Amino acid sequence: MNVKKNRKATDSMEKKRTRKTSDLMETNKTRKATDPMEKKKTTQKQAIRKVLRYVKRYWIFLLISLILALITVALTLYVPIEIGKAIDEIVYGSVNFPVIRDILLRVAIIVGVTAVAQWFMSILNNKVTYEVVRDIREEAFEKIEVLPLKYLDSHPSGEIVSRMIADVEQFADGLLMGFTQVFTGIMTIIGTLFFMLRLNIGITLFVVLLTPISLFVANFIAKRTYAMFQAQSRTRGEQTTLIDEMLGNEKVVKAYNQEEEVIKRFDEVNERLEKYSLRAIFYSSITNPATRFINAVVYAGVGLTGAFAVIRGTMTVGALSSFLSYSNQYTKPFNEISGVITELQNAIACAARIFELLEEPVEIPDSKNAVILTDVKGNVVCNEVNFSYDKSKKLIENLNLKIHPGQKIAIVGPTGCGKTTIINLLMRFYEVDHGAILVEGEEIRNITRNSLRESYGMVLQDTWLKAGTILENIKMGKEDATREEVISAAKEAHAHSFIKRLPKGYDTVIGEDGGMLSQGQKQLLCISRVMLSVPPILILDEATSSIDTRTEVKIQSAFQKLMQGRTTFIVAHRLSTIQNADVILVMKNGNIIEQGSHEELLAKKGFYKELYESQFAAS
């Protein structure tokens, strides 16, 4: 696949990458040099601080929401005063209907204004919540684009998807509930204290002393549920990973009769998720009943002491009614906040997993003085290159190569010897541990990634197609190509005949995995991309592994024409396809143990001759 993009898209991505990674680079420098698979866990307090940084961007909406919460609470708390006056008008003396009517009219107006204020407050809270969620998802997706491939290779895609979808959704639910109930809850507590102190200081102190017990209970339980919600989120990600893996490889599962084994694996993960979820929900559900019990005791105490005050004549019946209402409203936020704490535990646990992804070290950005490759002829040099995926296990050591323009370089060797790794290093998908790779005399670390990768055209054993039309998939290598150029490239790749048989020809829409196309047809489309873009350097990694022999002969002929005057790297297991290469590199255990032409290597009677004879023993 050719990785060339149009210049506008390239510049846009470069600006985004520079903007998003500049702040993160300082963080990456201070990270401990640990194993790449090891994750730094985000604590609860750290997660809360990071959430607040996102929320702070929308402070104006929060301020307006806070004002509306204040208005809502003030008006709501004023209603019991009016109701108390109406009760006193009924209890003491004759019933004054005109006064009661005026009181009820004022109550109706207050309730109407309160409803409108709550409506606007809900809109603002929703806006802030989903703006924050949008920002996090956008940043997470952009982060994936700048993560090094070693992270994506070492983490299941289902786990990453779970963090971006399920965890963000859970986080949004908790955040929305927090905004809606915490604001009004705090305001209600302050407001009711003010009104209760005006009515009766002694009973107010009784309420104030008992009610915070519910907060201590809620906090005690919350500290123990956070770890359970974290375990729940991790297991949910594991389950998503397994489902994603099985859906993508269902044919393999059925081919090897692994249905029962897969079901057992799923059941085991599902049971663990059930266990963690039940524990988290059980312990968190204790919070609300415990606080409600304490609040009920407070309410009963207020009713009893207030009744004695009425009997003594220090308080009116209407005032007691108002006080009971305030007592209930004072304790209610504690119930709601305790419920919110439970949701926030889950939300913060999910947020912590998201921030772990967002804080992963990014791909090393291009240096400020990075050059843009132009007029690439195909000079490639490797000087004492060392590289290994796992630093405890050596792979490529002291790799030295000098490749001239137009040469065809074949790389052969047993599985796992490092053939495809060399391609990863040439494309700068991975950074070398030691040494240097030079293209046109310039070290690739001093070249912009985009211009470096624009210089390569790749056809891999593993095909990649996007959801869209056949035409769009071929044009991926050259965005501005005309339809005639696409058809010409498809003809050279011998893909035109099968494309014309599709329902809508080049306008046929396929899924991201190629849908109804065979593996060979998918590979022909990838070859068509390279035929269309005509890059200065070619990389063919088992480019015809899924194609029938008859078509392969035709494509090899087209490749020969394409490779003329271009530096070409060919990774192959079938030695019959690379016999005409200018130089054959024979690799074993990460080292080049032999190199030369086909005839020279056979004459050496070394490892290459053994490989060759193992494939052509009968001949």
Domain residue limits, the chain = 35-358, 380-615
Q: Three-class SS of residue 360?
A: coil
Beta bridge partners of 586: 412, 594
Element (H, E) at 591: strand 591-596
How many angstroms separate the first and last alpha carbons of the chain?
35
**Which residue is it, tokens 């003594």?**
312
- Report the C-alpha gap between 167 and 355 in whole angstroms: 11
Q: Which two tokens stand for residue 199?
A: 């009515």
3 state DSSP class of 291: helix
What's the full length of the chain, in residues? 619
CB 80 within 8 A of CB 332: no
CA-nearest of 361, 416, 441 to 573 is 416
CA atoms within 13 A on the CB side of 254: 5
- What gap in Å lies between CA 231 and CA 276, rounded to an integer? 6
Q: Report the C-alpha gap between 426 and 376 in whole angstroms.
A: 14
Q: Identify whether the C-beta of residue 604 lies closer than 8 Å to the C-beta of residue 597.
A: no
User: What is the C-alpha to C-alpha distance for residues 454 and 273, in angstroms, rounded to an integer?
Assistant: 45
| Rama region for 518: left / alpha / beta (φ>0; ψ in -120 to 50; rest) | beta
pLDDT at 26: 39
Strands (E), 368-496: 380-387, 396-403, 408-412, 434-439, 442-443, 456-459, 468-469
H/E stretch holding 567 reads strand 567-571
Please, what are the averages of pLDDT over each run of 10 residues along the chain (619 residues)?
Answer: 40 41 39 38 72 84 86 83 78 75 88 91 86 86 84 79 81 72 77 80 79 71 72 83 80 81 89 86 75 77 80 78 78 69 74 84 82 85 87 81 87 81 87 90 88 84 84 86 90 88 90 77 85 85 73 74 82 76 84 85 87 69
What secondary structure does DSSP assign to 465-488, as a single string? --SEEHHHHHGGG-TT--HHHHHH
Distance, CA of 327 to CA of 334 (rounded, Å): 11
Contact 80, 326 (CB under 8 A): yes
**Class of CATH domain 380-615:** alpha beta
Residues β-bridged to residue 409: 569, 583
Task: Look up tokens 């060392």; give the residue.
Answer: 386
Distance CA 233, CA 351 (A): 10
Amino acid at 278: L
Radius of gyration of the chain (CA): 35
Pairing of strands 591-596, 583-588: antiparallel
> Residue 502 — left, alpha, or beta (φ > 0 → left; ψ -120 to 50 → alpha)?
beta
User: Tokens representing 329?
Assistant: 């409203």
147-181: string of b/e by CB count within 10 Å (b at 16+)? bbebbeeebbebbbbbbbebbbebbbbbbbbbbbb
Q: Which residue has the tokens 């304490």?
A: 294
Region label for 589, one of left (φ > 0), alpha (ψ between -120 and 50) or beta (otherwise): left
Closest CA to 123 of 165, 74, 69, 57: 69
Residue 43: what residue type?
T
pLDDT at 484: 92
Residue by residue, DSSP assigns 233-272 as: HHHHHHHHHHHHHHHHTHHHHHHTT-HHHHHHHHHHHHHH
DSSP per-residue letters across 163-187:
IIIIIHHHHHHHHHHHHHHHHHHHH
**SS3 assignment, position 142:** helix
Cα(145)–Cα(8) distance, rounded to whole angstroms? 17
pLDDT computed for residue 342 by the predictor: 66
Report d(CA 150, CA 517) in Å as an integer: 30
> If we measure between CA atoms, which residue out of 270, 269, 289, 286 comes closest to residue 345?
286
Query: Fold for domain 35-358?
Result: ABC transporter transmembrane region fold (1.20.1560)
User: Strand 408-412's sheet: what is its strand order?
Assistant: 456-459, 537-541, 567-571, 408-412, 583-588, 591-596
Whether this prediction's pTM lies above 0.75 is answered by no
Residue 595: which H helix or E strand, with range? strand 591-596
Q: Which residues contact 280 (CB under 8 A, 6 or more apart)?
A: 225, 228, 229, 231, 232, 346
CB-count exposure of residue 60 (10 Å: 0-12, 13-18, 19+): exposed
Q: Which two tokens stand for residue 507?
A: 């306008």
